[in-house]
Amino acid sequence: MKVVVVGGSAAGMAAAAKAKRMKPELDITIFEKSRYVSYAPCGIPYYFQGMVKSLDDLTYYPVEYFRKKRRLDVQIRHEVIDIDPSEKSVLAISLDTGREVKVYYDKLVLTTGGRPLIPPIKGVELDGIHTLRTLEDAEKLYKETLGASVIGIVGAGYIGLEMAEAFRALGKRVIMIEMLDQVLPSFDPEPSEIVKKELIDKGVELHLSEKVVAFEGGERIKEIVTEKDSYKVDLVLLATGVRPNTAFAEKIGLEIGVTGGVKVDRSMRTSDPDVYAAGDLVETIHLVTNKPVYNPLAPAANKMGRVVGENIAGGRAEFPGVVGTSIMKVFDLEVGKTGLSLREALENGFDAVAVDITHPNKSHYYPGYGKMNIRLVADKDSHRVLGAEIIGPSGVLARIDTMAAAVTAGFTTEQLKMLDLAYAPPFAPVWDGLIVAATVIEKKY
């Protein structure tokens, strides 16, 4: 059986490697437009800060590993220019030689990922305005960053905040502009205020509730113009979100879901039984709302890819969905979220309540003691835990992962407060903040 994978991303390489491992006789070709496969774009901010010495260090395995060790036909710097489902073929062109390659498939795997959302703003095509999605994007942006003094960031989501820290670490003046009235729009306003204060304290010039209306400067960006003011800059990073890259999926007639991602079943099959899709290209199910959601994050993409690979090799794997767990570092804060915010819960019809507590991350007498802010969200009628947002100097990962498990399992707050959580002074107080939050929220029922 011939398998063609379009996209050498996390999902694509996971699918190819898993299928080949289970069924070595499979003939698998992967086409990847860039020169990298199986890489970690989430590490890009740390490359800018000097923690990662080379972009090559952000690849999990080199191309030759997959070619020689996994016996996969990996074609880097090959851009797919056409897919014909009637004859089941993929046409690609080498970006180095211009030679066209046509390959026929029995099963097709689309892992074309997400694409940066570029808002229709006057002047957005000017030189010096960047998006950041691939390692090649990072390479280009880094070279220009070194010669810049003032950098504008449009958007205050995950990428914008992580890159604000990276640019500040390089000694740059950073002007961040967000059209909404808070940073981290997926969070509730109260936790986002903590992150806002951290940004300002670390020297980020933050402008909320300002819509960008134009970029000006002739051939190269010199000024960002908003509805309220204008700001002179040397460089701009657009961090305004990600959308699924569905161009080929739409061309070959695959069903697109309500979120804009390709619609797949739990086996990651599309509306064409010979075509699978995975990663940032697809929508999945949110396990709390039971509704479709677009969740372009690496852990889900990797798992989806493995499900695809197992099923192509004759297995019966399923991807159940997500609860939207994420964590990031913003200067001296760890910022985590899982499940639904209070706003999201109310919008999805839950009779939800929330509680905010401030609680130690470890015993008060132990070095490194600090305070975490925990927001717990639960359903008033069923007492089901719906989500959590946790921010603090350390210890957030353990708590947000615990909450991800609790949300996925459908725990009530009564079950949460009786969890047998670990205790030792270097790691947690004897009454962990999650237990305390679960106890306090019950007063709101």
CA distance 54 to 46: 10
pLDDT, residue 61, reads 86
pLDDT, residue 308, reads 98
Question: Sorting pLDDT into bands at 50, 70 and 90, what band is 62?
Answer: confident
Distances in Å between the alpha carbon of 253 and those of 83, 157, 259, 270, 271?
Answer: 11, 32, 17, 10, 8
CA distance 175 to 199: 11
Question: Sorting pLDDT into bands at 50, 70 and 90, what band is 60?
Answer: confident
Summarize pLDDT for 41-52 with one digit per residue, the tens. Answer: 899 999 999 999
Which of 42, 52, 225, 297 is catalytic? The answer is: 42
Summarize pLDDT for 140-186 with one digit per residue, the tens. Answer: 999 999 999 999 999 999 999 999 999 999 999 999 999 999 999 99
In 173-288, where do the E strands start and end? 173-177, 205-207, 212-216, 223-226, 230-232, 235-238, 242-244, 275-277, 284-285
Summarize pLDDT for 73-129 with one digit per residue, the tens. Answer: 999 999 999 999 999 999 999 999 999 999 999 999 999 999 999 999 999 999 999
Domains and CATH numbers, the chain: 2-114+242-312 (3.50.50.60), 118-238 (3.50.50.60), 326-444 (3.50.50.60)
Contact (CB, 8 A) for 116 and 240: yes
Q: Which amino acid is at 149?
A: S
Q: What is the mean pLDDT of residues 297-319?
A: 97
Contact (CB, 8 A) for 246 and 262: yes
Buried b (16+ CB within 10 A) or exposed e, 312-324: bbebebebebbbb
CA distance 41 to 55: 9
Q: What is the mean pLDDT of residues 10-22?
A: 96
CA distance 289 to 280: 20
pLDDT, residue 140, reads 96
pLDDT at position 131 over 90: yes
CA distance 37 to 61: 8
Token representation of residue 53: 């010495």
pLDDT at position 440 over 90: yes
Q: What is the pTM of this model?
A: 0.94
pLDDT, residue 126, reads 97
CA distance 438 to 378: 9
Question: Sorting pLDDT into bands at 50, 70 and 90, what band is 39?
Answer: confident
Question: Sorting pLDDT into bands at 50, 70 and 90, what band is 40?
Answer: confident
Q: What is the mean pLDDT of residues 392-401?
A: 97
pLDDT, residue 407, reads 98
Buried b (16+ CB within 10 A) or exposed e, 213-250: eebebeeebeebbbeeeebebbbbbbbbbbbbbbebbe
Residue 42 a catalytic site member: yes
pLDDT, residue 171, reads 97
Q: Which of 396, 379, 376, 398 minimizes the C-alpha distance to 387?
A: 376
pLDDT, residue 385, reads 98
Summarize pLDDT for 215-269 with one digit per residue, the tens. Answer: 999 899 999 999 999 999 999 999 999 999 999 999 999 999 999 999 999 999 9
CA distance 42 to 40: 5
